[in-house]
Amino acid sequence: MANENSVITRARRVALCNATSRGSSVQTIYPISHIVFGDAGVDGNGDPIAPSDTQTALTHAIGTYPIDAAPTYPETTTARYTVTIPAADLAGAEISEAGLVDSNGTLCAIKTMYVKRKDAGVTFTFTFDDEF
User: How many other C-beta atoms are found inside a 10 Å radius of the C-beta of residue 122?
Assistant: 11
Closest CA relative to residue 16, chosen from 5, 4, 30, 6 = 30
Would you say the C-alpha torsion 36, 40, 46, 47 has a positive or negative sign?
Answer: negative
Q: How far apart are the first and last CA of the chain?
A: 7
Give the model's pLDDT for residue 1.
Answer: 45
Q: pTM for the full model? A: 0.90
User: How many other C-beta atoms are found inside a 10 Å radius of the C-beta of residue 69?
Assistant: 9
Assign 3-class secondary structure to 63-87: EEEECCCCCEEEECCEEEEEEEECC
Q: What is the per-residue DSSP string for 6-38?
A: EEE-HHHHHHHHHHHHH-TTT---PPEEEEEEE
pLDDT tens track of the chain, all 132 residues?
A: 446 899 999 999 888 887 777 655 556 789 999 999 999 999 999 999 999 999 999 999 999 999 999 999 999 999 999 999 999 999 999 999 999 999 999 999 999 999 999 999 999 999 999 988
